[in-house]
């Protein structure tokens, strides 16, 4: 039995086919092309994304015995989505990216429309331009008729619809809209009514990995078995938790992508004021009875890509970047980089915060700037780790790390040195992709549960440890505690 994973990411979209042991048999990748309007708002083209996914499915399926494919699981970036016509299924809008800040005024409106703490208790979220509900209000402001006969879908939900003809959400992506009550697992229709939004704007939501349908006739050109079931795996960072087997309360993992996120697992419980004050996000985990907490830096890998693009002559490879960082020697650069290219996250969220370098001298080279970016993103994620550790009263001695950022060994060493913890890096090529496939396997009956899927696939997993040197740990802690944190309290760079 084979399972397909589909991952629609901010930078790249991927399709992979896995066997029941978690071994990837074939994979394809395409760039997720971001477009820019004249007003500087950004978008993804849903028809382009579907065409790319369809092409990748055919490409990967041609390399295996496609008749053995039993399930398809889909994961995607969390808050991004689009409006479809509920009658025709055609896109009414383009896909609005989570990273687009055009909806910042609508986020402020949401904050003013109800007590943010009351909203947090229901949604697990703080108001933000990233959230789907802010995007929807922004679309409505641009065109008051846009919501007529409309349904909002996540990107994963859109691909699932193109495969099955069924419009649906899963709990983890629903919980990133600001319209879903995680306590009751239902859409908050009283809140939608208060905002004068259609009460049927969102389709039914199901647990992650729930079978929403089979491959339909409209997708017959993909040469997939019509018996194959389709599941929405959900939020990409949470799908990754299956691949790295971080499913139990206290488990923590660091997902290093365009946005970098620290994710922890906890028992399901009611939220309270200390959770709210932490500025972390909370939601439902794919494993029943579990919740997650999450803190992010929206431009971590994004900072690396930015520095590569502005400093590369003409194009800086990762190998070249890594070598220039290594040439700087061990220990801190002494440069402080605040990685707020897309605003700042917890513990002090600020959508208007700007990035900055502090402490440059004539003696610093291009390599020092590269290394400072790795250091600054590490400093910011250490703030998230310390916030969560204080809230949960857990030391977080064991942190698993996944994602494209793990390709840069110096970055991992800086993280380990700063935190004073050895990092565990599962040797998995695509954790979110694999997790989506495993969740579909649980939904289709290949496994009895997500836990069994994670455990069973563990036979294909190896882990390497990233140690730290005590001397480097002391040096990084000194800069972090005496400079990075104090200056961050006063740094207010805005437009």
Q: Could you state, in order of their start, the residue ranges of all structural domains in the chain?
A: 2-238, 245-427+462-495
In whole angstroms, what is the distance from residue 108 CA to residue 102 CA? 12
Question: Which of 54-58, 134-138, 285-289, 490-494 has the lowest average pLDDT?
Answer: 490-494
Give the pLDDT band (50/70/90) at residue 314: low
Whole-number pLDDT of residue 220: 84
Distances (CA, A) of 220 to 54, 208, 223, 224: 11, 25, 6, 7
Which of 235, 140, 129, 122 has the alpha carbon at shortest distance from 179? 122
Do the domains 245-427+462-495 and 2-238 match in fold?
A: yes
Question: Regarding beta strands 252-256 and 229-235, do their DSSP bridges make them parallel or antiparallel, or are they unpaired?
Answer: unpaired
Give the pLDDT band (50/70/90) at residue 248: confident
- Mean pLDDT over each residue of the chain, to the nearest integer: 93
Q: Which residues contact 161 (CB under 8 A, 6 or more apart)?
A: 84, 89, 153, 167, 168
Cβ neighbours around 396 below 10 Å, total: 17
Which of 403, 429, 435, 428 has the alpha carbon at shortest distance from 74? 435
The hierarchical CATH code for the domain 2-238 is 3.30.420.40
- Asked if the model's pLDDT at residue 74 lies above 60, the reply is yes
Q: Please compute the mean of the pLDDT values over residues 233-257 and round it to a whole number.
A: 90
Whole-number pLDDT of residue 393: 79
In whole angstroms, what is the distance from residue 418 CA to residue 327 CA? 20
Q: Please compute the mean of the pLDDT values over residues 258-271 and round it to a whole number.
A: 92
Beta bridge partners of 443: none
State the alpha helices, DSSP H only, in 339-449: 366-392, 409-419, 431-444
Single pTM value for the model = 0.91
Whole-number pLDDT of residue 492: 66
Q: What would the two tokens of residue 239 be?
A: 């799908």
Cβ neighbours around 351 below 10 Å, total: 20
Beta bridge partners of 317: none
Domain at 245-427+462-495, CATH from 2.30.30.30, 3.30.70.20, 3.20.20.370, 3.30.420.40 = 3.30.420.40
Q: Please compute the mean of the pLDDT values over residues 47-63 and round it to a whole number.
A: 97
Q: What would the two tokens of residue 360 be?
A: 């440059």
- Asked if the model's pLDDT at residue 493 lies above 70, the reply is no
In whole angstroms, what is the distance from residue 361 CA to residue 372 CA? 13
pLDDT digits (tens, 9 = 90+) for 171-230: 999 999 999 999 999 999 999 999 999 999 999 999 999 999 999 988 889 989 999 999
Asked whether 13 and 32 are in contact (CB, 8 A), the reply is yes
């Amino acid at each position: 039995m084979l399972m397909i994973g589909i991952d629609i990411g901010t930078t790249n979209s991927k399709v992979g086919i896995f066997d029941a042991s978690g071994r990837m048999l074939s994979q394809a990748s395409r760039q997720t092309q971001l477009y820019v309007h004249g007003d500087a708002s950004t978008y993804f083209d849903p028809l382009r994304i579907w065409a790319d996914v369809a092409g990748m499915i055919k490409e990967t399926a041609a390399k295996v015995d496609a008749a053995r494919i039993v399930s398809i699981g889909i994961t995607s970036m969390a808050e991004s989505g689009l409006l479809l016509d509920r009658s025709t299924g055609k896109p009414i809008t383009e896909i609005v990216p989570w990273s687009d800040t055009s909806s910042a005024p609508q986020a402020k409106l949401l904050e003013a429309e109800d007590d943010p703490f009351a909203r947090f208790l229901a949604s697990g979220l703080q108001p933000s331009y990233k959230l789907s509900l802010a995007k929807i209000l922004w679309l409505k402001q641009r065109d008051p008729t846009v919501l007529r006969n409309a349904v909002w879908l996540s990107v994963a939900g859109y691909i699932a619809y193109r495969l099955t003809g069924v419009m649906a959400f899963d709990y983890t992506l629903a919980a990133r809209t600001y319209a879903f009550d995680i306590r009751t697992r239902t859409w908050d229709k009283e809140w939608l009514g208060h905002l004068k939004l259609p009460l049927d704007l969102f389709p039914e939501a199901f647990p992650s990995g729930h079978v929403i349908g089979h491959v339909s006739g409209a997708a017959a050109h993909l040469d997939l078995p019509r018996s194959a079931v389709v599941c929405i795996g959900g939020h990409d960072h949470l799908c990754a938790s299956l691949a790295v087997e971080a499913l139990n309360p206290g488990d923590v993992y660091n997902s290093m992508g365009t946005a970098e996120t620290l994710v922890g697992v906890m028992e399901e419980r009611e939220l309270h004021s200390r959770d709210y004050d932490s500025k972390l996000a909370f939601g439902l985990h794919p494993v029943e009875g579990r919740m997650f907490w999450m803190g992010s830096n929206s431009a971590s890998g994004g900072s690396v890509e930015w520095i590569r693009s502005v400093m590369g002559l003409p194009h800086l490879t990762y190998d070249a970047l890594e070598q220039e960082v290594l040439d700087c020697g061990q220990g801190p650069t002494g440069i402080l980089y605040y990685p707020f290219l897309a605003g700042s996250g917890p513990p002090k969220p600020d959508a208007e915060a700007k990035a900055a370098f502090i402490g440059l001298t004539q003696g610093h080279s291009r390599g020092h700037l590269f290394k400072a970016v790795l250091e600054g993103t590490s400093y910011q994620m250490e703030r998230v780790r310390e916030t969560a550790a204080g809230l949960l009263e857990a030391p977080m001695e064991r942190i698993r790390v996944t994602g494209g950022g793990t390709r840069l060994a110096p970055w991992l060493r800086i993280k380990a040195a700063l935190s004073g913890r050895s990092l565990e890096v599962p040797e998995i090529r695509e954790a979110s992709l694999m997790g989506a496939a495993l969740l579909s396997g649980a939904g289709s009956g290949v496994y009895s549960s997500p836990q069994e899927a994670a455990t069973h696939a563990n036979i294909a997993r190896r882990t390497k440890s990233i140690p730290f040197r005590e001397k480097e740990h002391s040096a990084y802690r000194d800069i972090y505690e005496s400079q990075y944190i104090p200056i961050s309290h006063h740094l207010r760079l805005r437009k």
